[in-house]
């Protein structure tokens, strides 16, 4: 197992290098330059380019970036002068990550519960109602859910603060719910279909023939078998949630990294684009690795291969 | 063999409500099962043999309905009136089932030893350690080599034959009165089939259980069954002892089944088949369901269902050919040979 994880980590680093390379050169294809403020003189721009090393040949810039990145130096933001990208990410990522983690936990717990309830009452009215909600959860963009939550819980009933960060846990409730809706809906649908398939399998019929009750069938056999495929969902979902959401962070005025990620692109803040992309890619690959290891722990068929 | 009856099925009718209408899967069958005996139910796909066994386990799909006046008397109680709780006490405990496909009928994420111990824990008041101890003994009984080393294996580590042994061990776990085996060897290699059947017979002798053996393969039946019931289109058309069915068959459908079974005498390329297909049980025919495929069919076969005619105390067949007014027909040559053999056996007093 250790050998397997090490191998995966090496592949992860290699993939990360490919991501860095592709992003680096793709950025150059974008039209315009980072310093296109009309008030800047040509001389000032030339000086800026020199300061940031943008006057050097591309391959040299690329090598410099790689070497620096290997030393943990991701450069300095163009947009926020004198602020290193590492610091920027260091300040903002934990906020997004906390929010994302809360949303992930809520989404998974609610999704698992709703999905298994639906599956056990397949084609009932309850199943139909839950189906409508999970379709809504998937179909509605998070910002609409966010605004609806804001209006109901923040304005109409005044149960939770409408915006802000860092003062109290209650501030995190509405953005967490807004972010959790889609993963909860996706998980619920997935768990439902996996559970239904499991409940109609031969091994459940054999277990029923042993005299087990419906509850025992679900708890001893159906759950484990239908949760294994769900694990594969968690990797991308976690990476997605932990790296922040522009819309939700904007609506609730949360100083997370999501907003940074997007605003760096039109301003061509190259170091920030690179830094956030690396973080996102690393997070995604790491989460997939974690779920693969988890799958191997839970599924005996994977463990021994 | 003891002669007391353990199960009595009376006038069993099972319908399935589907979008297309009511499928009459079981159209009034009756049979009984004695303690320690093996009854084979033989028939082709869709004849109702699997529905019969699922009914006896209370495992029919939700759209199945057992008719009000059907009775399934097991040890004095009518199973057809049981609720969910009642069935849980019967299943895996007093009536157990061996399923057809060992590759899919074990839980892939649970250790095999645990799966065998599960019915023991459910039905007997024992500790987990004792249940595992019993599971180990069962594994020895069904012929799993080095059971101690393999008790913590998962199903994917085992071959199909070994898995079917585990499935049989699960069925035997609570020492059931009736073991229902639904084509237990169909999914296995022919070489493994014989081993599994012999092992089942050994275990049956050890536990004194009765077996209901479902199959479409008459070849398998000869080695394992005491009595045979032939099913067609949701009805039993003929039943008797193994010898009576093999050597003195009376129903043209039984003739067809025996004829289409390869024997050592079968010449290459001359295997017989029964022409046509079974009737649609959404709209079962008025008369004998087999009439349309039956070259010996009489006019009355298309009009009226034949009653059971007694051939001997243990042998009955539902065919108008046995009516005293019916013309004498000559069955196909291989059946005549069987009759001749039967005649010789009777003469020798076997």
Q: What is the DSSP string of B252-315?
A: HHHHHHHHTS--TTPPTT------S-PPPTTS--SS-TTGGG-TT--GGGGTSPPPPEEEETTE
Can you tell me the mean pLDDT for B260-281? 77
Confidence of residue A175 (pLDDT cuts 50, 70, 90): very high
- Environment class of B124 (CB within 10 Å of its CB; exposed 0-12, middle 13-18, buried 19+): middle
Pick from B46, B6, B29, B22: nearest CA to B278? B46
Q: Are strands B38-42 and B227-232 parallel, antiparallel or unpaired?
A: parallel
Give the list of residues 6+ apart from residue A31 with CB closer than 8 angstroms, or none: none
Q: Do B185 and B267 reside in the same domain of the chain?
A: no
Q: Are strands B178-182 and B95-98 parallel, antiparallel or unpaired?
A: parallel
Q: DSSP secondary-structure letter at B79?
A: G
* pLDDT higher than 90, residue B139: yes
What count of other Cβ atoms lies within 10 Å of the Cβ of residue A102? 19
The pLDDT tens digits of the residues spanning B290-346 come to 988 988 888 899 999 999 999 999 999 999 999 989 898 899 888 999 999 999 999
Q: How many residues does chain A have?
A: 305
Beta bridge mates, B312: B315
The reported pLDDT for the residue numbered B195 is 84
Can you tell me the mean pLDDT for A122-146? 91
Q: Are B265 and B338 in contact (CB under 8 A)?
A: no
Confidence of residue A303 (pLDDT cuts 50, 70, 90): low
Q: DSSP secondary-structure letter at A76?
A: B
Q: Do B172 and B246 reside in the same domain of the chain?
A: no
Q: Do B268 and B213 reside in the same domain of the chain?
A: no
Domain spans, chain A: 1-33+35-77+269-305, 114-263
The pLDDT tens digits of the residues spanning A75-118 come to 888 877 778 899 989 999 999 999 999 999 999 999 999 999 99
With contacts defined as CB-CB under 8 Å, which chain B residues touch A217?
Answer: none
**Residue B5 touches partner A, C-beta closer than 8 Å:** no
CATH number of the domain enclosing B336 = 3.40.50.300
Q: In angstroms, rounded to a whole number, what is the distance separating the alpha carbons of residues B99 and A210?
A: 12
Pick from B257, B181, B261: nearest CA to B214? B181
Does B91 contact A221 at a Cβ distance shorter than 8 Å? Answer: no
The shortest CB-CB distance from A225 to any of B108, B154, B173 is to B108
Q: In angstroms, rounded to a whole number, what is the distance separating the alpha carbons of residues B166 and B168?
A: 5
Can you tell me the mean pLDDT for B145-167? 93
The reported pLDDT for the residue numbered B265 is 65
Strands (E), B76-202: 77-78, 95-98, 178-182
The shortest CB-CB distance from B104 to any of A201, A212, A299 is to A201
Q: Do B319 and B268 reside in the same domain of the chain?
A: yes
Give the list of residues 6+ apart from residue B343 with CB closer than 8 angstroms, or none: none
The reported pLDDT for the residue numbered A23 is 93
With contacts defined as CB-CB under 8 Å, which chain A residues touch B97?
Answer: 206, 209
Q: Do B68 and B207 reside in the same domain of the chain?
A: yes
**Residue A304 touches partner B, C-beta closer than 8 Å:** yes
Q: In angstroms, rounded to a whole number, what is the distance separating the alpha carbons of residues B245 and B240?
A: 6
The reported pLDDT for the residue numbered B88 is 94
Q: Which of B225, B260, B295 is the last residue of a domain?
A: B225
Q: Are B120 and B134 in contact (CB under 8 A)?
A: yes
The reported pLDDT for the residue numbered B266 is 60
Q: Do B35 and B102 reside in the same domain of the chain?
A: yes
Q: Do B167 and B190 reside in the same domain of the chain?
A: yes
Q: In angstroms, rounded to a whole number, what is the distance separating the alpha carbons of residues B240 and B230?
A: 9
Q: Do B324 and B299 reside in the same domain of the chain?
A: yes
**Residue B91 touches partner A, C-beta closer than 8 Å:** yes
The reported pLDDT for the residue numbered A25 is 92
Residue B125 C-alpha, separation from nearest chain A C-alpha, in angstroms: 15
Please give the share of chain B, as a percent, with pLDDT higher than 90: 61
Give the list of residues 6+ apart from residue B240 with CB closer than 8 angstroms, or none: B227, B228, B248, B311, B312, B314, B315, B316, B317
* pLDDT higher than 90, residue A253: no
Confidence of residue A212 (pLDDT cuts 50, 70, 90): very high
B167: nearest CA in chain A?
A206
* pLDDT higher than 70, residue B1: no
Give the list of residues 6+ apart from residue A165 with CB closer than 8 angstroms, or none: A95, A171, A172, A252, A253, A254, A255
Does B91 contact A207 at a Cβ distance shorter than 8 Å? Answer: no
* pLDDT higher than 80, residue B271: no
Please give the share of chain B, as a percent, with pLDDT higher than 70: 97
With contacts defined as CB-CB under 8 Å, which chain A residues touch B135?
Answer: none
Q: Are B58 and B246 in contact (CB under 8 A)?
A: no
Q: Do B143 and B292 reside in the same domain of the chain?
A: no
Confidence of residue B276 (pLDDT cuts 50, 70, 90): confident
Give the list of residues 6+ apart from residue A87 with CB closer than 8 angstroms, or none: none
Among A221-235, B122-136, B254-268, which range has the highest average pLDDT? B122-136
pTM of the model: 0.82
The reported pLDDT for the residue numbered A243 is 84
Please give the share of chain A, as a percent, with pLDDT higher than 70: 99
Q: Do B91 and B131 reside in the same domain of the chain?
A: yes
Give the range of the structural domain holding residue B302, as residue numbers without chain letter: 230-348
* pLDDT higher than 60, residue B3: no
Q: In angstroms, rounded to a whole number, what is the distance separating the alpha carbons of residues A189 and A195?
A: 10
The shortest CB-CB distance from A210 to any of B101, B108, B118 is to B118
Does A203 contact B106 at a Cβ distance shorter than 8 Å? Answer: yes
**Least confidently predicted of B69-73, B107-111, B206-210:** B206-210
The shortest CB-CB distance from B59 to any of A208, A224, A225 is to A208
* pLDDT higher than 90, residue B151: yes
The pLDDT tens digits of the residues spanning B117-133 come to 999 999 999 999 999 99
Q: Do B276 and B333 reside in the same domain of the chain?
A: yes
Q: Are B309 and B317 in contact (CB under 8 A)?
A: yes
**Residue A29 touches partner B, C-beta closer than 8 Å:** no
Confidence of residue B2 (pLDDT cuts 50, 70, 90): very low
Phi, psi of A224 (to 5 degrees): -55, -45
Over A186-245, what HEC string results?
HHHHHHHHHHHHHHCCHHHHHHHHCCCCHHHHHHHHHHHHHHHHHHHHHHHHHHHHHCCC
Q: In angstroms, rounded to a whole number, what is the distance separating the alpha carbons of residues A94 and A137?
A: 26
The reported pLDDT for the residue numbered B268 is 63
Number of domains in chain B: 2
Can you tell me the mean pLDDT for A248-276? 87
* pLDDT higher than 90, residue A265: no
Q: Do B65 and B142 reside in the same domain of the chain?
A: yes
Can you tell me the mean pLDDT for A214-223? 92
Beta bridge mates, B215: B42
Mean pLDDT across chain A, nearest whole number?
89
């Amino acid at each position: 197992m250790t050998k397997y994880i090490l191998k995966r980590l090496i592949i992860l680093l290699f993939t990360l290098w490919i991501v860095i390379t592709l992003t680096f050169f793709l950025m150059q294809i974008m039209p315009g330059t980072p310093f296109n403020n009309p008030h800047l003189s040509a001389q000032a721009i030339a000086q800026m380019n020199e300061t940031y090393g943008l006057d050097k040949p591309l391959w040299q810039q690329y090598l410099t970036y790689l070497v620096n990145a290997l030393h943990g130096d991701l450069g300095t933001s163009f947009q926020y002068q004198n602020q290193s990208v590492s610091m920027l990410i260091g300040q903002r990522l934990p906020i997004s990550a906390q929010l994302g983690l809360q949303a992930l936990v809520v989404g998974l717990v609610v999704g698992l519960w709703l999905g298994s309830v639906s599956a056990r009452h397949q084609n009932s009215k309850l199943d139909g109602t839950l189906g409508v909600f999970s379709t809504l959860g998937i179909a509605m963009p998070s910002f609409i859910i966010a605004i609806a939550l804001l209006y109901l819980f923040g304005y109409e009933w005044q149960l939770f603060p409408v915006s802000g960060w860092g003062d109290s846990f209650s501030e995190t409730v509405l953005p967490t719910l807004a972010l959790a809706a889609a993963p909860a809906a996706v998980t619920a649908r997935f768990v439902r279909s996996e559970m239904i398939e499991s409940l109609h399998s031969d091994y459940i019929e054999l277990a029923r023939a042993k005299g087990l009750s419906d509850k025992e069938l679900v708890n001893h056999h159906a759950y484990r078998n239908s949760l294994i495929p769900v694990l594969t969902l968690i990797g991308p979902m976690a990476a997605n949630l932990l790296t922040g959401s522009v819309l939700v962070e904007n609506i609730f005025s949360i100083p997370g990294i999501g907003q940074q990620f997007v605003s760096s692109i039109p301003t061509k803040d190259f170091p920030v684009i690179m830094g956030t992309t690396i973080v996102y890619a690393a997070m995604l690959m790491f989460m997939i690795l974690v779920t693969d290891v988890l799958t191997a722990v839970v599924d005996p068929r994977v463990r021994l291969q | 063999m003891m002669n007391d009856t353990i199960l009595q099925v009376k006038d069993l009718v099972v319908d399935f409500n589907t979008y297309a209408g009511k499928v009459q899967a079981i159209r009034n069958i009756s049979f009984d099962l004695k303690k320690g005996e093996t009854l084979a139910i033989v028939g082709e796909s869709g004849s109702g043999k699997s529905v019969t066994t699922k009914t006896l386990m209370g495992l029919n799909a939700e759209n199945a309905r057992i008719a009000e006046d059907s009775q399934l008397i097991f040890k004095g109680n009518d199973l057809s009136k049981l609720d969910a709780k009642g069935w849980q006490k019967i299943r895996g405990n007093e009536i157990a089932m061996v399923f057809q496909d060992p590759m899919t009928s074990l839980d892939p994420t649970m250790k095999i030893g645990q799966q065998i111990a599960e019915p023991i824990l459910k039905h007997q008041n024992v500790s987990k350690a004792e249940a595992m101890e019993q599971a180990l003994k069962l594994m020895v009984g069904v012929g799993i080599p080095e059971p101690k080393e393999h008790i913590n294996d998962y199903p994917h580590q085992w071959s199909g034959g070994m898995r079917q042994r585990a499935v049989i061990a699960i069925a035997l776990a609570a020492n059931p009165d009736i073991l229902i085996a639904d084509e237990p060897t169909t999914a296995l290699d022919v070489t493994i089939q014989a081993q599994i059947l012999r092992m089942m017979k050994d275990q049956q002798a050890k536990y004194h259980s009765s077996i209901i053996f479902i199959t479409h393969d008459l070849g398998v039946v000869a080695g394992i069954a005491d009595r045979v019931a032939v099913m067609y289109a949701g009805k039993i058309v003929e039943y008797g002892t193994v010898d009576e069915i093999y050597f003195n068959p009376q129903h043209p459908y039984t003739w067809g089944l025996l004829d289409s079974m390869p024997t050592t005498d079968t010449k290459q390329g001359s295997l017989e088949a029964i022409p046509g297909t079974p009737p649609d049980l959404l709209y079962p025919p008025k008369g004998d369901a087999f009439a349309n495929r039956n070259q010996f069919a009489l006019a009355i076969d298309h009009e009226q269902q034949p009653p059971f005619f007694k051939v001997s105390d243990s042998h009955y067949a539902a065919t108008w050919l046995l009516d005293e007014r019916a013309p004498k027909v000559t069955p196909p040559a291989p059946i005549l040979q069987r009759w001749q053999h039967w005649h010789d056996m009777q003469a020798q007093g076997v």
